[in-house]
Structure 1
């Protein structure tokens, strides 16, 4: 009864604020309550977005990426400089996508209907879902390894379960993986407000663990830091070092390419545009650079202790002698991993799968699909070394980049930030976003062409020197393609008028 009353109240708000009719609300191909437009003022303020970014950055994957950059021939301070440059660029890009999401008040796949058409938006939605599924699986696996170490420390008798393998993972590994898998699914099924609360808790939690880990590692290294340390036998200097720093900046952008693309899933619930910008400045610029700094410090300090930088902080946790400290650290890392996984991957994929078939797939069902697929892809095989992760990021950016460029150019330069919310939920030919049968063919063709180009850059060995720049190349190509289509359309209109 309460659910029906809530739905009725929401429907009234959709009608009042956005002009949606029964025809819009009953359109099972384009509408369900989970992907409906925001009504009223959002409840995600600056603090929530600040914590969102804390949760997004504070992860085992983020640490592995930061330390892994020193395997590319850069020393500690060069890697840190590259990450700082990347975050500054990301700050600008996130403001553009975040503000668009706040203004329109709809999740990413629905926002994409403005550019690709009410049916064509399934293309970017499906692509983003697949990327999210892979990263969801990787992050869940990483967190499960911390739990595994804790379990073996407390219960040494479990060692036989860690020696029996199935599909590349031990029995104990499977148990730990499925435990965190179920915990994340539970959080998602509690709804977006629970996700926000988890983000508010998870972000600060990992800071406690990372600072403690940094102090502990530094003390074992006698407080020595060699900022010229590098993990590579070939040290980059001169122009090569400059290119290397810029490559790091680009790979940092690629690392967050997916979450930046679907940033509207969260900023649509923001209370104002200014809260989005402030949250990005504090959570991304200030906090992100600080996390990169402490990650590099831990990596350099660990090199003093182990003669080589430890790229996986879980290995450092395994050296903790105190069961109490290990328990606290493992819980902090696990909570942080769950937080980053849900906000960066789980939520996005759930919305994207729901968008593919709104009548049959709700946000919660989309979450179940995401969780199952994340196991099917066997992420422990995908995650093997920092270098592989970095180049995988380049491949991800190759496809996500053009989408980002097309959406931003279309929203700000073509449509001038003007939109009709109700037309995002109609299949009627006269709808503003119906285009040709629900597909904006020129934009889809542009995406396919740009995607092919950037995939070649990212994956073909002959272009390996440009591989790390696949995301900015993709964004630039997507952006320019929209301008070219706009120019050609204007020229055609002039000719037809004559």
Structure 2
């Protein structure tokens, strides 16, 4: 995607990141038709079919006795429609600086805790059977992980609020906006360090 978008700057004089808009630049109807068929198949077989598995499983695991995987998939589809994804795509600024960066902040915080816990704290040793037991050794909830996760989001919160126009950007200064631009890296390293510190302190 990055390579193609970079090429459009040279060929068409402007960056075109939307494949549908890019296809509109071609004059041959055969090229457009075949490309649209390929794009449709890729969307249905990869973007939708593959990406629905994780949220459907997560929703089903909230209440396994009531929610099946199929129902979890239907709920995922409804939520996907309700967040108006076409509005995100219609505005590149909103899509990149609001959705992608904000989403990356959550993923960075989550990854920091998970990698620290698995590689540093537990030395890659997990009892998989215990993970699925209500009264297992892992207790189902890890308060230290939640604290590290939530606290790591605080440094990027001012930039996010300014980006969605809830507060004026001038009121927080350029530093916090720059921090928000690197949201994934900030939340990853902060959550990693906080979780490691909390485990070390609370173990004593």
Bin for the TM-score computed over the shorter chain: 0.7 to 0.9
Alpha-carbon offset, residue 389 of structure 1 = 1.7
Alignment CA distance shift 1:344-1:470 (3 Å): farther
Alignment CA distance shift 1:384-1:377 (3 Å): same
Q: Which residue number in structure 1 is paired with residue 12 of structure 2?
A: 302
Task: Give RMSD over aligned pairs.
Answer: 2.1
Q: Which residue number in structure 1 is paired with residue 166 of structure 2?
A: none
Could you state the TM-score of these two structures normalised by the residue count of structure 2? 0.83
Q: Which residue number in structure 2 is paired with residue 478 of structure 1?
A: 191
Alpha-carbon offset, residue 340 of structure 1 = 3.9
Q: Which residue number in structure 2 is paired with residue 356 of structure 1?
A: 62
Alignment CA distance shift 1:314-1:414 (3 Å): same
Task: Count residues with an aligned counterpart.
Answer: 192
The 8 Å contact of residues 403 and 447 in structure 1, kept in 2 or not, is answered as: yes
Q: 1:398 aligns with which of 87, 105, 110?
A: 105
Q: Which residue number in structure 1 is paired with residue 118 of structure 2?
A: 411
Alignment CA distance shift 1:299-1:351 (3 Å): farther
Q: Which residue number in structure 1 is paired with residue 30 of structure 2?
A: 324
The 8 Å contact of residues 52 and 73 in structure 2, kept in 1 or not, is answered as: yes
Instruction: Give structure 2 stretches of 5+ with no counterpart.
Output: 163-168
Alpha-carbon offset, residue 457 of structure 1 = 4.1
Alpha-carbon offset, residue 324 of structure 1 = 2.7
Measure the CA separation in 2 of the matches of 1:346 and 1:309: 30
- Write out per-residue CA displacement over residues 36-85 of structure 1, whole angstroms, 9 at most, x where no aligned residue: xxxxxxxxxxxxxxxxxxxxxxxxxxx4xxxxxxxxxxxxxxxxxxxxxx
Secondary structure in 2 aligned to 1:309? coil
Alignment CA distance shift 1:400-1:309 (3 Å): closer
Alpha-carbon offset, residue 470 of structure 1 = 0.7
Q: 1:312 aligns with which of 18, 23, 39?
A: 18
Measure the CA separation in 1 of the matches of 2:51 and 2:122: 29
Secondary structure in 2 aligned to 1:432? coil
Q: Which residue number in structure 2 is paired with residue 442 of structure 1?
A: 144
- Write out per-residue CA displacement over residues 327-353 of structure 1, whole angstroms, 9 at most, x where no aligned residue: 211011112223441366322211221
User: Where does 1:47-86 land on structure 2 (aligned, <5 Å)?
Assistant: 63=1
Q: Which residue number in structure 1 is paired with residue 160 of structure 2?
A: 458
Alignment CA distance shift 1:464-1:457 (3 Å): same
Secondary structure in 1 aligned to 2:52? helix
The 8 Å contact of residues 155 and 179 in structure 2, kept in 1 or not, is answered as: no
- Write out per-residue CA displacement over residues 285-321 of structure 1, whole angstroms, 9 at most, x where no aligned residue: xxxxxxx323311332121xxxx33343312323444
User: Where does 1:335-374 land on structure 2 (aligned, <5 Å)?
Assistant: 335-342=41-48, 345-374=51-80
Secondary structure in 2 aligned to 1:426? coil
Measure the CA separation in 2 of the matches of 1:455 and 1:382: 20
Secondary structure in 1 aligned to 2:90? coil
Instruction: Give structure 1 stretches of 5+ with no counterpart.
Output: 1-62, 64-291, 493-498
Q: Which has the larger radius of gyration?
A: 1
Alignment CA distance shift 1:343-1:483 (3 Å): farther
Alignment CA distance shift 1:414-1:457 (3 Å): farther
Secondary structure in 2 aligned to 1:361? coil
- Structure 1 runs (4+) greater than 4 angstroms displaced: none
Alignment CA distance shift 1:482-1:344 (3 Å): farther
Alpha-carbon offset, residue 369 of structure 1 = 0.8
The 8 Å contact of residues 354 and 362 in structure 1, kept in 2 or not, is answered as: yes
The 8 Å contact of residues 458 and 466 in structure 1, kept in 2 or not, is answered as: no
Alignment CA distance shift 1:343-1:475 (3 Å): farther
